[in-house]
Structure 1
Amino acid sequence: MSDPIRHECGLAVVRLKKSLAYYQEHYGTALYGFNLLAALMAKQRNRGQDGIGIGCCKLDMPAGTPYLFRERFDVSVEQMGEVFSGIRKDYKRIARKIDGQRREERHETGVEHLPFEEDPEAIKREFELAGEINIGHLRYGTSGGLGKACLHPYLRRTTWPTRSLMVMGNFNLTNSGELNRVMMQRGQHPVFGTDTQSVLEEIGFQLDEAHTQLYHELRDSGMPGTEIPKHISARLDVGEMIRKSAQIWDGGYAIVGVIGSGDLFVMRDPNGIRPCWYYENDEILAFASERVALMSVLEVPEEDVKELPPAHVAVMKSCGTFTTEKFTEVSEPKPCSFERIYFSRGNDSEIYKQRKRLGEQLVEQVVEAIDNDFEHTVLSFIPNTAETAYFGFLDGLRKSRRVAVKEALMEMLKKGELDEAKLDDLVLRNWPRAEKIAHKDIKMRTFIASDAGRDELVSSVYDITYGSVTEKDNLVVIDDSIVRGTTLKTSLLRILARTNPKRILVLSTAPQIRYPDCYGIDMSELGKFIAFQAAVELLKERNMRHVLRETHEACLAELKKPRHEMRNAVKAIYAPFTDEEISAKVAQLVSPAKTPWKGKVEVIFQTIPGLHAALDIAGGPSFGDWYFSGDYPTPGGFGTVNRAFINFYEKKEGRSYDTLL
């Protein structure tokens, strides 16, 4: 993706089913859980640029000893390896210290002691991140701040393990303000920061309520106080607690929680917008945002990794029992299509095929655009993440060309006009020509730079292959998606223009992004979308400014309706124009200025039917397309899109989700 957008966070969870001594014996280290967590996070490093967080819960710790730990690191993902190395160095430092103390004990008493590194109980007691429950988070912030205080997991401590809570997630709630107002009506004093804080406090409230009820029941029965905590832990109904907490939540989410007593839960939104996968055997239970992370780290086949169903919560109690249950009604599944277009790693077999099909779906439009002139067309891709779609595009072109050749041959045979000259002309000429035009000569993720300096960074990162394109050629390049178009205009097209082609055709494997996202992607400001800018320009050119005013009035009216009655009033902005008209205007807007190149830029977008033909799998869900179609899966989406237009019209900046109050 050439445009800089933030996207979904990454989750990793490892729950050990046996004692640390077991892993010491079978795998040579009591840090087996932490090492698996680090590997799962490293495999999902594409999912976070703002920082990482790690949490650990230790089971059955004696009274007076800590049991719940959290570390957060305000670092770039490139520094994640250094963080893990530092943690392991701390472990070795503690090991040497304890081992030194034991050497003195052996000297004084003559009793043989195992070294610290071979004593799992000592490791668990002395090293903070050695426990049975390990959770990790890679953050891509779409709301709140970007400092260390905003990193997950969030922690709520009390003197009761059964009331202490740690939460992290890959999510965005569209109605955090409503949730905060509910808390205030109870008499609580929520701190308005992020929706993560709101989720933590809501689950924490329900946890307190359940805990208090059980405590009074057990205390009034005459049970000794020292016995009460373990009975509360055993009887705590985590599924019911989640059911009550999530009653008014609106959004896309995969949320992980750990209760201090050792109960673990992982929940997924009713529409399955955010991804969540898990694997279980007799040694571990592990969760991740991406299936291939579990497959690669745990070395297990695809069929053994399961998807957590929408509207379900998976719970592993401290005693080790594991269940999944519905916490609310399942809505129509609408998993995020951007996970398949771009966000997830492309080595998942299903995602790889989908990305190839996305490229293949563009073939017909390209053949028409170049008038079937492959002899004077060079095919390539930019950025590197579009390479898989490029392979699919080439496959589709070859198939298309083979069909055309076969039909021509059959026609020649029918007419008896087949000769060597015509055969050579038909078979040897006009085949698709692929070249590596743009490439990176510096290994950098360009979208992590600030917008101010990003154009210069892109210009220095990308370079071209000179001499592979002539002034008679069409240069066709595939991109994953075009969101804002700023990088195309100011950097990438200027770079590609150095090849001096007749024209440049930019293909987007995603359709026109017309509407904001509100479920986890940082795409909430409507005025920044190049497709929206194109529609507004067309309205102005055709003396239809009244549509802007009328849409503003309609959006204000929609926000006065009950949430479940709202509709998307912003569709009126696009209604007067065809997709082709908007694409043509986008091409004008992104065409580079102040360059000696005299060629023409054209932009071809994936169609929404083409998107579904590529992504939707027989028997599976239809992938979400709200950023393209404006058809949101939850009421909060319609509130977001209408509010986004109001912000644009009234020249207000900032995200258009429901305010935190």
Structure 2
Amino acid sequence: MSDKLTHECGIALIRLKKPLSHYQEKYGSPLWGFTKLYLLMEKQHNRGQDGAGVACVKLDVPPGEPFLFRERCVKTNPLDRIFKTLQSDYAKKTASGLIHPEFADTVRKHFDFGGELLMGHLRYGTSGGYSLSSCHPFFRRSPWPTRNLALCGNFNMTNTEELNSSLIAMGHHPIFATDTQALLEKIGFYLDEEHEDIYRFLRSRGLTGTELSRRISDDLDLARVLTRASQNWDGGYTLCGLIGNGDAFVARDPAGIRPCWRYEDDEVIAFASERAPLMTVFDAAAETTSEVPPGHVVVVKKNGAVSSAPFTAPLPRAACSFERIYFSRGNDLDIYAERKALGGGLADQVIAAIDHDWGNTIFSFIPNTAEVGYFGLLHTLRERRRDEVKKIILDASRAGTLDEAMLDEVILRNWPRGEKVVSKDIKLRTFIGEEGARNLLASHVYDITYGTVRPGIDNLVCVDDSIVRGTTLRKSILRMLSRLNPKKIVIASTAPQIRYPDCYGIDMSELGKFIAFEAAISLIKERGKESLLNEVYQLCRQAVERGETENHVRKIYDSFTADEISKKIADLVRPRRNIAWDGPLEIIFQSIANLHAAVPNHTGDWYFTGKYPTPGGYRVVNQAYINYYEKADGRSY
């Protein structure tokens, strides 16, 4: 994606099934689980760089000693900083003789993260700011282990205000900070009730002391807690929770919008936002991993028992397609194939754009996440050219016109050519304060490979995985590509036009910033249909006030074909100043049909189609238009 876009967070949870001494004896380190947590998080660093946090619960800690620990950081390279800090603490205690690594009990006693239950979070901030107070995991503490809760997640709730109102109605005094805080208090309230119900039942039967505490821990039903807490939740989420007694849970939204995978063997059960990290870190085959089912909570009890149960009413599956197009790591076997298919799906449009001029076209990509799509496009184009060549040879052979000149000029030399035309330099430090100078520096983040395009002869086709705002195209990439002086520039997006806001995890909720919306508005004004803008505004206000689940913003696009909007986008992103190149520019977008053909199991496409999986999505899209019309900045949820 050439535009900078903050997005999905990453989660990791590890529950060791053996005592630390087992891992010391087998792997030579009592910190095997701690190291695996770091690796799981490092392999998902693409999912969050605004902050990181880790938590640990130690099992069966004697009274008087702490059992729940947390470390968070929002500085540059937060993941490295956290683990370096913890490793330094471990090394100092080892050097002082407080910890003897060969004796796992000393590790468990003196190292905060020498425990059996570990959780990590990588954050991209979409709400709540970027301070340490907004960094997961969130804590809710109590002297009772079964009332302690550490919570992290990859999610956005569309109805945080409603959740806070429900807390007020229950007698709470919530701090209006983030949706995480709202969920923490909601789950915490029902965790307290669950604890209190069990406590009073057992006390009535004469249990006291450690036996009472043990029975509360055994009887605690986290699936019931989540079922009660999740009433009226609206959003996309994967939640991970640690309870102070050693229980843990992982819950996924009922539409499967946010991803979550699990792996289990006789030594560990682990969860992550993506499958490939689990496979890499645990050297696991794909068939040994599985998705957490949508609308289910997986509970790991302190005794190691694992169960999965539904906790909320099911919804039609709407797993986020952007996960497959862009967010997740491309080394997952299915995602790699899907991204190649997305690139291949552009072939017909690309061939038309270059008018079958194979020999005078260079194919490339805008780094780095579009590379696999580029491979897929090039593979499909070569297959198409092969079919053409086969037909030419057969026709010429039948006509008796096949000769060496035809073989050389028409067949052998006229194949799709791929080049590394665009490269991305290390991030430039835009320390200069003046805005124009900063923009100038930002425009040099990308660079070109000179000599790859024959000036005035070759078309240049560049694959991008998605175009959101078009800002980088306009300010940087197209200016840079024009220096090669191609005959024509074609930008091919493996994603369809992004027309509507997301409210389930991706930070793109302001309609006016979408280049597709900007194009549609421009066309409306050019054709004298400004009255439609007020009509949609009134409909959106009415829908928000009445709680209607209809997307009225779709009317903005209904008057135009996708091709008309694409042409207007090309006009809007074309640089106007200080550019000598004046050749044709064409922007191509993936079709919805080809998207679903390439990514059949991730049907969540609301940012392209406006079809939202929950009522909150419709409220957000209508509110986003109200904000645009009223010139109100900020998120619409």
Residue correspondence of structure 1 range 508-527 to structure 2 within 5 A = 508-527=493-512
Whether 1:628 aligns to 2:608 is yes
Letter in 1 for 2:110: E
- Deviation of 1:575 after TM superposition, in Å, equals 0.4
| Number of the residue aligned with 1:112 | none
Runs (5+) with no aligned partner, structure 1: 100-114
Letter in 2 for 1:5: L
Measured in 2, the distance between the counterparts of 1:444 and 1:18 equals: 47
| Number of the residue aligned with 2:27 | 27
Measured in 2, the distance between the counterparts of 1:254 and 1:146 equals: 20
- Deviation of 1:27 after TM superposition, in Å, equals 1.4
Quickly say closer, same or farther: Cα 1:585–1:445, change in 2 above 3 A.
farther
| Number of the residue aligned with 2:590 | 606
Measured in 2, the distance between the counterparts of 1:350 and 1:261 equals: 38
Whether 1:424 aligns to 2:408 is yes
Letter in 2 for 1:51: G
Quickly say closer, same or farther: Cα 1:610–1:400, change in 2 above 3 A.
same
Report the 3-state secondary structure (helix = DSSP H, G, I; strand = E; otherwise coil) of the residue aligned with 1:11: strand
Measured in 1, the distance between the counterparts of 2:155 and 2:80 equals: 25
| Number of the residue aligned with 1:637 | 617
Whether 1:38 aligns to 2:21 is no
Residue correspondence of structure 1 range 490-569 to structure 2 within 5 A = 490-562=475-547, 565-569=548-552
Measured in 2, the distance between the counterparts of 1:283 and 1:429 equals: 57
| Number of the residue aligned with 2:565 | 582
| Conservation of the 8 A alpha-carbon contact between 2:424 and 2:447 | yes
| Conservation of the 8 A alpha-carbon contact between 2:53 and 2:135 | yes
| Number of the residue aligned with 2:464 | 479
- Deviation of 1:422 after TM superposition, in Å, equals 3.0
Whether 1:148 aligns to 2:132 is yes
| Conservation of the 8 A alpha-carbon contact between 1:587 and 1:602 | yes
- Deviation of 1:548 after TM superposition, in Å, equals 0.6
| Conservation of the 8 A alpha-carbon contact between 2:443 and 2:475 | no
| Conservation of the 8 A alpha-carbon contact between 1:381 and 1:478 | yes
- Deviation of 1:28 after TM superposition, in Å, equals 1.4
Residue correspondence of structure 1 range 235-634 to structure 2 within 5 A = 235-442=219-426, 455-469=439-453, 470-562=455-547, 565-594=548-577, 595-616=579-600, 621-634=601-614
Measured in 1, the distance between the counterparts of 2:28 and 2:416 equals: 54
- Describe the superposition over 1:13-57 as per-residue Cα deviations: whole angstroms up to 9, x where unpaired: 110111111111111121111111001111111111101000000
| Conservation of the 8 A alpha-carbon contact between 2:187 and 2:229 | yes
- Describe the superposition over 1:356-383 as per-residue Cα deviations: whole angstroms up to 9, x where unpaired: 1110000100111111112221111112
Quickly say closer, same or farther: Cα 1:271–1:262, change in 2 above 3 A.
same
| Conservation of the 8 A alpha-carbon contact between 1:52 and 1:75 | no
Measured in 2, the distance between the counterparts of 1:521 and 1:456 equals: 28
- Deviation of 1:11 after TM superposition, in Å, equals 0.5
Quickly say closer, same or farther: Cα 1:457–1:84, change in 2 above 3 A.
farther
Quickly say closer, same or farther: Cα 1:219–1:453, change in 2 above 3 A.
farther
| Number of the residue aligned with 1:71 | 71
| Conservation of the 8 A alpha-carbon contact between 2:155 and 2:505 | yes
- Deviation of 1:623 after TM superposition, in Å, equals 2.1
Measured in 2, the distance between the counterparts of 1:530 and 1:84 equals: 40
- Deviation of 1:332 after TM superposition, in Å, equals 1.2
Normalised by the length of structure 2, the TM-score is 0.97
Report the 3-state secondary structure (helix = DSSP H, G, I; strand = E; otherwise coil) of the residue aligned with 1:488: helix
| Number of the residue aligned with 2:159 | 175
- Deviation of 1:458 after TM superposition, in Å, equals 4.1
| Conservation of the 8 A alpha-carbon contact between 1:478 and 1:506 | yes
Q: 2:101 aligns with which of 107, 117, 128?
A: 117
Report the 3-state secondary structure (helix = DSSP H, G, I; strand = E; otherwise coil) of the residue aligned with 1:169: strand
Measured in 1, the distance between the counterparts of 2:436 and 2:16 equals: 46
Letter in 2 for 1:593: R
Whether 1:207 aligns to 2:164 is no
| Conservation of the 8 A alpha-carbon contact between 2:428 and 2:442 | no
Comparing 576-585 with 331-340, which one deviates more in the overlay? 331-340
| Number of the residue aligned with 1:84 | 83
Quickly say closer, same or farther: Cα 1:441–1:4, change in 2 above 3 A.
closer
Quickly say closer, same or farther: Cα 1:611–1:520, change in 2 above 3 A.
same
Measured in 1, the distance between the counterparts of 2:468 and 2:241 equals: 34
Quickly say closer, same or farther: Cα 1:188–1:331, change in 2 above 3 A.
same
Report the 3-state secondary structure (helix = DSSP H, G, I; strand = E; otherwise coil) of the residue aligned with 1:559: helix
Comparing 362-371 with 588-597, which one deviates more in the overlay? 588-597
Whether 1:651 aligns to 2:631 is yes
Aligned length: 633
- Describe the superposition over 1:567-586 as per-residue Cα deviations: whole angstroms up to 9, x where unpaired: 10000000000000000000
Residue correspondence of structure 1 range 196-235 to structure 2 within 5 A = 196-235=180-219
Measured in 2, the distance between the counterparts of 1:411 and 1:377 equals: 25
Report the 3-state secondary structure (helix = DSSP H, G, I; strand = E; otherwise coil) of the residue aligned with 1:646: helix
| Conservation of the 8 A alpha-carbon contact between 1:455 and 1:487 | no
| Number of the residue aligned with 1:55 | 55
Comparing 593-602 with 19-28, which one deviates more in the overlay? 593-602
Letter in 2 for 1:630: G
Measured in 1, the distance between the counterparts of 2:80 and 2:198 equals: 44
Measured in 2, the distance between the counterparts of 1:118 and 1:451 equals: 57
| Number of the residue aligned with 2:97 | 98
Measured in 2, the distance between the counterparts of 1:501 and 1:622 equals: 37
Measured in 1, the distance between the counterparts of 2:464 and 2:559 equals: 27
Comparing 368-377 with 424-433, which one deviates more in the overlay? 424-433
Measured in 2, the distance between the counterparts of 1:598 and 1:205 equals: 64
Measured in 2, the distance between the counterparts of 1:452 and 1:97 equals: 55
- Deviation of 1:83 after TM superposition, in Å, equals 3.1
Comparing 428-437 with 474-483, which one deviates more in the overlay? 428-437
Letter in 1 for 2:14: V
Measured in 1, the distance between the counterparts of 2:483 and 2:585 equals: 13
- Describe the superposition over 1:330-377 as per-residue Cα deviations: whole angstroms up to 9, x where unpaired: 211111111111111111110000001110000100111111112221
Measured in 2, the distance between the counterparts of 1:71 and 1:489 equals: 41
- Describe the superposition over 1:162-193 as per-residue Cα deviations: whole angstroms up to 9, x where unpaired: 11100000000111111111111111111111
Comparing 592-601 with 398-407, which one deviates more in the overlay? 592-601
- Deviation of 1:605 after TM superposition, in Å, equals 0.6
Comparing 394-403 with 19-28, which one deviates more in the overlay? 19-28
| Conservation of the 8 A alpha-carbon contact between 2:199 and 2:212 | yes
Letter in 1 for 2:153: G
- Deviation of 1:147 after TM superposition, in Å, equals 1.0
Measured in 1, the distance between the counterparts of 2:428 and 2:465 equals: 18
- Describe the superposition over 1:221-257 as per-residue Cα deviations: whole angstroms up to 9, x where unpaired: 1112332111111001111111111121111100000
Quickly say closer, same or farther: Cα 1:522–1:451, change in 2 above 3 A.
farther
Measured in 1, the distance between the counterparts of 2:54 and 2:194 equals: 27
Identity of aligned residues (%): 53
| Conservation of the 8 A alpha-carbon contact between 1:458 and 1:492 | no
Runs (5+) with no aligned partner, structure 2: none
